[in-house]
């Protein structure tokens, strides 16, 4: 038998367990799971969210790395028919393996382990085509970076990738006291909706010719030295006149560029790669 009382929170697994019933209720009502939906919870811990999700969702898969938590989850939930536990690292998990048919989409939720939040978000974004939406608790600072607009101090590679693929919205802020143990920082719930799920996604005017990984590469290079100009940061990748041909002044800084402008620079970079392959 696994008892939640015997389990000691582990820092290396980013364990901060939710215990505030009002916060839990707010998260559950924001998700509003329905009986015909397939939900996936990342990092269920001792089941604070799971116990509510399981009563609403049609199917619930949970992915938990800490094997000591598995018996605790089994004791509570294994009697439910459409419930499965996967004792595995979410970073290595193949989310498409959960799909029961080609038209099914997954709804992802979780109070995520903060120590792996950015790589996990990148891993999940690779699966955007099979995801209906995501509701995650993250450090407030990470949610602010995801939702930042051009010109703001927190706008960077994460904002560009997330907002290229998803509509991102900060739903509400959660104070440290809602968790046990309490983290040092404030947290926030973010809602991410992949753009292919949105009926009217006309906010993107420029089509990406490369992959999201190409876009991430250009964003990383453009922001490599935040105070420097694009001309400087991109000099090994794009010629000055190629930046200008994209309609962008090469004396600008990366933080002033819209997502469309990043897409235009990426397209130029992909074109250069194709041309260099032709001449090799």
Applying CB under 6 A, among 15, 117, 266, 268 the residue interacting with ligand SAM is: 15
Q: Which x/- pattern over 91-110 shows residues binding ligand SAM (rule: CB under 6 A)?
A: x-------------------
Q: With left for phi above 0 and alpha for psi between -120 and 50, is residue 58 left, alpha or beta?
A: alpha
To ligand SAM, the closest distance from the beta carbon of 185 in angstroms equals 12
Query: Using CB under 6 A, which of the segments 87-95, 128-136, 142-150, 226-234 binds ligand SAM?
Result: 87-95
Q: Which stretch binds ligand SAM (CB under 6 A): 9-17, 128-136, 143-151, 222-230?
A: 9-17
63 binds ligand SAM (CB under 6 A): yes
Binding residues among 112-151 for ligand SAM as defined by CB under 6 A: 113, 116
Q: How far is the CB of 2 from ligand SAM (least distance, A)?
A: 13
Q: What angle do CA 140, 142, 144 make, to 5 degrees?
A: 70
Rule CB under 6 A: say whether 45 interacts with ligand SAM: yes
Q: Does 39 bind ligand SAM (CB under 6 A)?
A: no
Q: Quick one: 150 or 183, whose CB is closer to ligand SAM?
A: 183
Answer yes or no whether residue 18 interacts with ligand SAM by CB under 6 A. yes
Q: How many residues bind ligand SAM (CB under 6 A)?
A: 23
Q: Is 14 in the site for ligand SAM (CB under 6 A)?
A: yes
- Spatial separation of the C-alpha atoms in residues 5 and 76, rounded to whole Å: 13
Closest to ligand SAM by CB, 137 vs 246, is 137
Residue 217 binding ligand SAM, by CB under 6 A: no
Q: Candidates 8-16, 193-201, 226-234, 251-259: pick the segment binding ligand SAM (CB under 6 A).
A: 8-16
Q: Is 65 in the site for ligand SAM (CB under 6 A)?
A: yes
68 touches ligand SAM by CB under 6 A: no
Integer angstrom CA distances of residue 55 from 17, 43, 97, 105, 192:
20, 18, 23, 19, 23
**Chain residues that interact with ligand SAM, rule: CB under 6 A:** 13-18, 42-45, 48-49, 63-66, 69, 89-91, 111, 113, 116
């Amino acid at each position: 038998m696994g008892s939640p009382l015997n389990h000691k929170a582990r820092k290396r697994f980013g364990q901060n367990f939710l215990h505030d019933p009002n916060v839990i209720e707010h998260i559950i009502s924001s998700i509003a799971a329905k009986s015909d939906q397939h939900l996936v919870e990342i990092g269920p811990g001792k089941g604070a969210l799971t116990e509510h999700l399981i009563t609403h969702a049609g199917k619930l898969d949970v992915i938990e790395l800490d094997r000591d938590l598995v018996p605790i989850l089994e004791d509570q939930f294994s009697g439910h028919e459409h419930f499965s536990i996967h004792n595995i690292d979410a970073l290595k998990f193949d989310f498409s393996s959960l799909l029961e048919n080609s038209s099914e989409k997954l709804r992802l939720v979780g109070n995520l382990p903060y120590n792996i939040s950015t790589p996990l978000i990148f891993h999940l974004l690779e699966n955007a085509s099979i995801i209906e939406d995501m509701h995650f608790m993250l450090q407030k600072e990470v949610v602010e970076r995801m939702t930042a607009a051009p010109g703001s101090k927190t706008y960077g590679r994460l904002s560009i990738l997330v907002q290229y693929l998803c509509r991102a919205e900060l739903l509400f802020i959660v104070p440290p006291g809602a968790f046990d143990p309490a983290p040092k920082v404030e947290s926030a719930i973010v809602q991410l909706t992949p753009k292919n799920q949105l009926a009217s996604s006309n906010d993107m005017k420029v089509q990406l010719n490369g992959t999201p990984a190409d876009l991430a590469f250009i964003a990383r290079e453009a922001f490599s030295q935040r105070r420097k100009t694009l001309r400087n940061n991109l000099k090994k990748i794009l010629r000055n006149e190629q930046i200008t041909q994209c309609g962008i002044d090469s004396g600008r800084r990366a933080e002033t560029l819209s997502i469309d402008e990043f897409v235009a620079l990426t397209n130029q970079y992909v074109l250069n790669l194709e041309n260099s392959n032709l001449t090799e």
